[in-house]
Chain A
């Protein structure tokens, strides 16, 4: 399959990249991993006349812990790196798990967290875990910088608040408090190489190992035009002692917050019922992780 013609730019500094983006605006696409962009270009869905590669821009692919309380993830960090990173797996499990389920091994070696967020496919793997981690996204342009919560980032399929001249620079997540645990579950047909039919990420924090839930976050993907936070379900759980019935009810509430479609991967009805099942399971798994939290 052939790629259409385009002009290629390989800026060697961030400033250069941002300058190019403000000049070229909507005619340009950023190339990080390319596993989404190049596919879309081959299918003639995207036809940018300019492609700006981040390959030589330094510092975009680093995971930088910030004084023990937070981590900065460069937007060019690959899914493979996230999946295998010790700190990610230990403290930011939903994100590491989701990264390990994205595509297949070779895709993971190229696909980036920045690309996965900015491309904003409703079924994308990384948005829900970023949402339950309340990630802050650093957007930069030639004109300045701004920070946006990931929970306010997505507008629709393929649409985010990012402007054509802006670059997603990094993703900041705060280390969850003690007695926190998270999970990520993805439902597809095969056991790999899948685009989710439904996916769920959760982060749950207990007061103490046997204590009630003090905080919980649930995010669902592939069941609405954007990934959604199930705030209603979360409200139900906060302050309560965790239990099967509680998680079941949370799942039911979660269904009501979604608007899945019927497409050739699955019907709306099935997706709704799976939201219930997966939410419950994700909460169960997060609870287990929370109870076995270690400093």
Chain B
């Protein structure tokens, strides 16, 4: 039997009737057509489905849509403002941190959660923050560099 849920997705209030066995990932991708969050494994092993739920990065393939009722979700589509890339997205582009791009939305969101909580992370802290996001293309190095770069940019923006 469907439940009525109400949640905020990328700053917008959304209302829907969903089956309980629908994951948040399915809801975002199929019901809201926000296909930026990806299905890589379905079991929480790869992080391609990362979204930020009430400020914390989670594997959306392991969250039921009904569990997101009354909560705030940020997906990759909610990061750029008025078409302008978020500093993390810009850094990923500039530093060559994106190859096939399938892990990128998850990586970028994990990075956002990190920098929101820890604006000046060390390299080890960056690696720890993305340790649940698998990448097969980049070897992680340029991703780590991009996140470090984004941290500086954001700090610079805050100062000015």
Chain A interfacial positions (CB closer than 8 Å to B)? 1-8, 10, 31, 34-35, 38-39, 42-43, 51, 53, 55, 80, 103-107, 109-110, 191-193
Which of B21, B41, B47, B64 contacts A104, CB < 8 Å? B47
Known pairs A1-B43, A109-B58 / 14 extra A-B pairs, C-beta < 8 Å: A1-B61, A2-B21, A3-B21, A3-B23, A8-B3, A8-B66, A31-B67, A38-B62, A39-B43, A103-B44, A103-B132, A104-B131, A106-B110, A193-B132
Nearest first, the 8 A-B pairs at minimum CB distance are A104-B132, A1-B42, A8-B20, A3-B21, A192-B131, A109-B56, A106-B132, A105-B132
The answer to whether A106 and B45 have CB atoms under 8 Å apart is: no
Cα distance, A186 to B57, chains bound together (Å): 24
In the complex, the answer to whether B128 meets A105 with C-beta atoms within 8 Å is: yes
Residues of B participating in the A interface, judged by any CB pair closer than 8 Å? 1, 3, 19-23, 41-45, 47, 50, 53, 56-59, 61-64, 66-67, 110, 128-129, 131-132
Which of A103, A109, A191 has the most chain B CB within a 10 Å cutoff?
A109
Which B residues touch A6, using CB under 8 A?
20-21
Bound-complex Cα distance A209 to B58 (A): 42
List of B residues within 8 angstroms of A7 by Cβ: 1, 20
| CA of A35 to CA of B1, assembled, Å | 23
Contact B131 A105 (CB under 8 A): yes
Closest B residue to A41 using CB positions: B21
- Closest residue to A39 on the B side, CB-wise? B43
Complex partner residue of A38 from B19, B45, B64, B128, CB under 8 angstroms: B64
Interface contact B132-A107, CB-CB below 8 Å: yes
Q: What is the distance, in angstroms, from B61's C-beta to the closest C-beta of chain A?
A: 8
Residues from chain A with Cβ under 8 Å of B43 in the complex: 1, 39, 42-43
Minimum CB–CB distance for A77 against chain B, Å: 14
Is A51 a contact of B20 with CB atoms below 8 Å?
A: yes
A32 to chain B, nearest CB (A): 10
Q: Known contacts A6-B20, A7-B1, A192-B132; decide if A106 and B66 are in contact (CB<8 Å).
A: no
A3–chain B nearest beta-carbon distance, Å: 4
Min CB distance B55 to A, Å, is 10
Q: Is the CB of A193 within 8 A of B131?
A: yes
Q: Name the B residues within 8 Å of A39 (CB-CB).
A: 43-44, 62
Query: What's the least CB distance linking A99 to chain B, in Å?
Result: 14
Q: Could you say which residues of chain A place their CB within 8 Å of the CB of B129?
A: 105
Given the complex, which residues of A lie within 8 Å of B58, measured CB to CB?
106, 109-110
Check if A34 sits within 8 Å of B132, measured CB to CB. Answer: no
A-B residue pairs in contact (CB < 8 Å), sample of 6: A5-B19, A105-B128, A106-B50, A106-B57, A192-B132, A193-B132
Chain A residues within an 8 Å CB radius of B50: 106
Q: How far is the CA of A34 from the CA of B68 in the complex (A)?
A: 13
Q: Which of A8, A31, A51 has the most CB of B within 10 A?
A: A8
Given B57, B61, B63, which contacts A105 in the complex, CB threshold below 8 Å?
B57
A1 to B58, CA, bound (A): 17
Q: Are A35 and B132 in contact (CB-based, < 8 A)?
A: no
Residues of A within 8 A of B59 (CB): 35, 106-107, 110
Closest A residue by C-beta to B55: A109
What's the minimum C-beta distance from A46 to chain B, rounded to whole angstroms? 13
